Amino acid sequence: MSLLFQLYRLLVPKPIRTKILLASLAKKIPAFHTGSVGFATDTERQGVIDYITRRGVQIFPYDFTDKYNPSSIEVFEDPSCGLKYVMMDNKRLYFKRRWSMKRIRKSFHDLSLEQDLESPHRYLSSDFTVSSSDVLADFGAAEGNFSLSVIEKIKKVYLFESDPEWIEALEMTFLPWKDKVEIVPRFVSDINDEKHCSGDVFFAGKELTFMKIDVDGGERKLLRGFADTVSSASRMQIALCTYHQHEDEKEFSSMLSAKGYAVSPSGGYMIFYYDKKLKAPYLRRSLIRATKG
């Protein structure tokens, strides 16, 4: 990191730096794509560029985001435990004890955007979904919204979450289904110690048919520790996030295809400007869906 960049970060407040970044991307992204090969017939990219031209750069550059307003989200408090929650599909989704109502509204707003039917970040699709025979591993569970959305449809779920504050919330959220929920308080990686475990070691002798993987850039280590299980599975579905790093989609798609999986990206794009290494083509697929068996 250069001295000038360090001074910039020190002297310019983060909200202003973000505005400067978004203004810069609002120029760079259309300039790059409108002059690129195949753009004239690429309706997905055209739609994104049209949105940026009209409304600027957003994580999800789509009009479906207008359906959601954080201020309209009702937050409740459970007197039995003191935790706050929101209602999701007539089920309680609990949050960290120290979080304010404002922060919970913002978080649930973002979760709702991610799993909207039109969102590029939606894990499931009409032909990629769960069934009553599925055993799910939710890697990077956090508040557990995805697992909660399917808990009544699946056989069992393993929730991998190492943050004690989230574990407390998860225990309350999944209390009605505790007989088919196992919370695993460890990082899933390519090593095994007190804080980490590899998928191959943890799932040795255990059933697993569906993996949801969103671990904030730790996907490579997780997959290295899952190499044998992923390769040997006769039936498996994997929803794998690919927006954290530049080469994720290409690298993960190639790896899973080589292991016999049918791989396809979700529709649409994200502009993940939180990545300080974001570069052309700027637009990233949110996730890939991989199926075997």
**Where residue 220 sits, what CATH number does that domain have?**
3.40.50.150
In a shared domain, residues 26 and 103? no
Contact 184, 159 (CB under 8 A): yes
> Residue written as tokens 């804080």?
195
pLDDT (average), residues 134-160: 97
Q: What is the pLDDT of residue 63?
A: 97
Write out pLDDT tens, residues 112-146: 999 999 999 999 999 999 999 999 999 999 999 99
Q: Residue 33: give the domain boundaries.
A: 3-57
Return the biggest CA–CA distance within the chain.
60
pLDDT (average), residues 154-166: 96
Residue 144 neighbours by CB under 8 Å, 6+ apart = 93, 138, 159, 161, 169, 170, 173, 174
Write out pLDDT tens, residues 201-226: 999 999 999 999 999 999 999 999 99
In a shared domain, residues 133 and 252? yes
Q: What is the pLDDT of residue 8?
A: 59
Q: What is the pLDDT of residue 189?
A: 93
- φ, ψ of residue 280 in degrees (nearest 5): -55, 140
CA distances from 137 to 52, 157, 163, 184, 284 (A): 36, 6, 17, 10, 24
In a shared domain, residues 49 and 121? no
Count of domains forming the chain: 2
In a domain, residue 174? The reply is yes
In a domain, residue 244? The reply is yes
